[in-house]
């Protein structure tokens, strides 16, 4: 019983760096895709209607901040994995 517990603990310890890397990597990919799509659609909207620049800019920045928050959450999770 003790041997199985030691094996399980050592396996979890050995997989912690992989879990950290996946946490940061997947959240960065998600944030990058989200910010890219937000920027592309904002540029498309401004290109179609240049007078709407002021109306598009603020929601675009807010949406980008929410997408960036996903990456920050991934970083926090990675730091919490021991």
Q: For the segment 4-55, what is each residue's pLDDT rounded down to a tens digit?
A: 766 666 766 788 888 899 999 999 999 999 999 999 999 999 999 999 999 9
Domain tally for the chain?
1
Rounded to whole angstroms, the Cα distance separating 55 from 50 reads 10
Residue 29's domain comprises 2-80
Instruction: Please compute, for residue 50, the number of CA atoms within 13 A of its CA located in the half-sphere on the CB side.
Output: 0
pLDDT for 62: 93
7: CATH: 1.20.20.10
pTM surpassing 0.85? no
Of the candidates 60, 72, 77, the one whose C-alpha atom is nearest the C-alpha of residue 16 is: 77
Q: What is the mean pLDDT of residues 54-65?
A: 92
């Amino acid at each position: 019983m003790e041997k199985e517990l030691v094996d399980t603990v050592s396996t979890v310890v050995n997989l912690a760096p992989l879990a950290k890397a996946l946490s940061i990597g997947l959240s960065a990919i998600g944030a990058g895709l989200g910010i890219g799509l937000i920027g592309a659609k904002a540029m498309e909207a401004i290109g179609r209607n240049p007078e709407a620049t002021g109306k598009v800019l603020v929601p675009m920045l807010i949406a980008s901040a929410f997408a960036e928050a996903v990456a920050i959450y991934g970083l926090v999770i990675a730091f919490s994995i021991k």
